Amino acid sequence: MDFHPDNLLYAGAGPVVIDWMTAVRGNPFADVARTVVMLAYASLPQGLPEPVKQGIMAVRKQFETSYLEAYLRSAKGSMDDVEQWYLPIMAARLCESIPLEEKDVLAKEIQQRLAVL
């Protein structure tokens, strides 16, 4: 439940996942959903110039797309497997120490998703 680009080291043999301190066993699609939610909704530091923000968001989106495609192909899963976890993961993120701006965005997204159910 903590896989994101900051927990990757790039070595000669390819990327290596680090930070396994809180690793547990659970539904792997919940983990994937959390990564996607973090990439899509995590706040950026205040004061970043707009072009830098846009660049970071573009890299995040590309990482998200590539990660999802590779994971679903490898796990023989579907987007439905991941999407069913978005609401619980978003709600859980509201209880974490994240910036208020991110909480507001997540709360609005949760409300929109619940309105369609």
CA–CA distances in Å: residue 15 to residues 4, 9, 12, 28, 68: 12, 6, 8, 20, 16
52-79 residue pLDDT tens: 999 999 999 999 999 999 999 999 999 9
Handedness of CA 86, 91, 92, 98 (dihedral sign): positive
pLDDT at 12: 87
pLDDT at 58: 96
How open is the CA angle 28-94-66, to the nearest 5 degrees? 40
pTM across the whole model: 0.85
pLDDT in tens, the chain (117 residues): 778 777 888 888 888 888 888 778 889 999 999 999 999 999 999 899 999 999 999 999 999 999 999 999 999 999 999 999 999 999 999 999 999 999 999 999 999 999 998
pLDDT at 5: 76
pLDDT at 117: 83
pLDDT at 14: 85
